[in-house]
């Protein structure tokens, strides 16, 4: 069963005069990005469910036209923290001007497509350059649909990794080695084996948190946050609080087009 559903459209900007001018500029940016997404993201399905997307080139590539540049720049100091709401995991510079919020279920194969086929790589480059902060909400609805506990166990383990300052590294590893969604493969043993590959993550506290579902409350609260977010499937992306609309959604899977989508959505 596919778990990606249509996302809602972006709300219009209210006001008159200058507000209309700003809205017109943003509409033009969205239109331009939609054209570019259609031209570049050739592997995406018509429903926006996934993208074949390729890697889009090496990490030094640049996005043109004044968009956020996914390029190798001097690394900025990034942090990995839990937001005051108790469910949002923040990764990046606190001073980043653009905030990208990603809603994912660890068992979702389309989330794996996003993280491993170019979109996640481009987002990581924008985070490391200091232009973007990424925020994650971890859903777990696939456990109820498919049976098992894999999504919840993975979300719990990711919360434990945050305590160790290794959320981003472990998050990338989980998606790179995601089991088939129907197998419920995120077992304690598998999660701990993957954690062994992240320097500084394994230890008595982390292992106990994984085996004992220490962050069960976080997992439940995160699923509720997803349910009430306006997101209707995973992965869903918001840019500065606005859901990426259906015309642009498939562009988030491609390394070349993701910066264009973020730039268009961040227009006032």
pLDDT at 4: 40
Q: What is the CATH classification number for the domain harbouring 128? A: 3.40.30.10
- Mean pLDDT, residues 198-217 taken together: 98
What is each CA distance from 1 to 4, 30, 130, 147, in whole angstroms? 9, 31, 37, 12
- Mean pLDDT, residues 228-244 taken together: 96
- Three-state SS for 134? strand
Residues 254, 40: Cα–Cα separation, whole Å: 8
Q: pLDDT-derived band of residue 50, with 50, 70 and 90 as boundaries? A: very low
The mean predicted confidence, pLDDT, of the chain is 79
CB atoms within 10 A of CB 46: 6
Residues 233, 237: Cα–Cα separation, whole Å: 10
| Of the candidates 168, 174, 156, the residue with the CA atom closest to the CA atom of residue 78 | 168
Specify whether the CB–CB gap between 51 and 43 falls below 8 A: yes
Range of the domain at 147: 73-249
- Mean pLDDT, residues 94-108 taken together: 97
- Three-state SS for 122? helix
Q: Tokens at residue 245, please? A: 């609309």
pTM of this structure: 0.76
What is each CA distance from 180 to 40, 111, 146, 197, in whole angstroms? 28, 12, 11, 20
Residue 49 maps to a domain: no
Residues 34, 206: Cα–Cα separation, whole Å: 43
Residue 120 maps to a domain: yes
Residues 47, 152: Cα–Cα separation, whole Å: 28
pLDDT tens readout for residues 74-85: 557 889 999 999
Count structural domains, the chain: 1
- Mean pLDDT, residues 196-202 taken together: 97
Residues 159, 157: Cα–Cα separation, whole Å: 5
pLDDT score of 245 more than 70: yes
Residue 261 maps to a domain: no
Residue 91 maps to a domain: yes
Q: What is the dihedral of CA 180, 53, 34, 73, to 10 degrees?
A: 110
Residue 113 maps to a domain: yes
Owner of token pair 């170019």: 118
Residue 145 maps to a domain: yes
Phi, psi of 64 (to 5 degrees): -85, -175
**Better-predicted residue by pLDDT, 181 or 42:** 181
pLDDT score of 43 more than 70: no
pLDDT tens readout for residues 137-178: 999 999 999 999 999 999 999 999 999 999 999 999 999 999
Residue 56 maps to a domain: no
pLDDT at 254: 96
Residue 67 maps to a domain: no
pLDDT score of 23 more than 90: no
Residues 79, 95: Cα–Cα separation, whole Å: 11
pLDDT score of 67 more than 60: no
- Three-state SS for 56? coil
């Amino acid at each position: 069963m596919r778990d990606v559903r249509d996302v809602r459209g972006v709300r219009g900007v209210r006001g008159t005069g200058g507000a209309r001018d700003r809205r017109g500029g943003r509409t033009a940016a969205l239109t331009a990005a939609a054209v570019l997404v259609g031209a570049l993201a050739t592997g995406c399905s018509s429903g926006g469910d996934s993208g074949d997307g390729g890697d889009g080139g090496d990490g030094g590539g640049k996005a043109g036209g004044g968009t956020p540049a996914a390029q190798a720049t001097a690394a900025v100091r990034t942090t990995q923290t839990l937001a005051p709401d108790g469910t949002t995991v923040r990764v990046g510079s606190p001073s980043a001007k653009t905030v990208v919020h990603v809603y994912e279920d660890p068992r979702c194969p389309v989330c794996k497509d996003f993280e491993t086929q170019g979109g996640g790589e481009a987002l990581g480059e924008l985070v490391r350059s200091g232009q973007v902060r990424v925020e994650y909400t971890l859903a777990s609805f696939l456990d109820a649909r498919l049976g098992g506990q894999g999504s919840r166990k993975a979300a719990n383990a990711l919360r434990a990794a945050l305590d160790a300052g290794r959320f981003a590294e472990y998050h990338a590893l989980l998606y790179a080695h995601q089991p088939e969604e129907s197998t419920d493969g995120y077992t304690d043993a598998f999660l701990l084996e993957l954690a062994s590959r992240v320097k500084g993550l394994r230890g008595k506290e982390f292992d106990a948190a994984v085996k004992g579902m220490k962050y069960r409350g976080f997992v439940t609260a995160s699923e509720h946050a997803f349910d009430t977010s306006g997101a209707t499937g995973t992965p869903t992306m918001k840019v500065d609080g606005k859901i990426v609309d259906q015309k642009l959604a498939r562009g988030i899977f491609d390394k070349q087009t993701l910066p264009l989508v973020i730039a268009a959505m961040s227009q006032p």
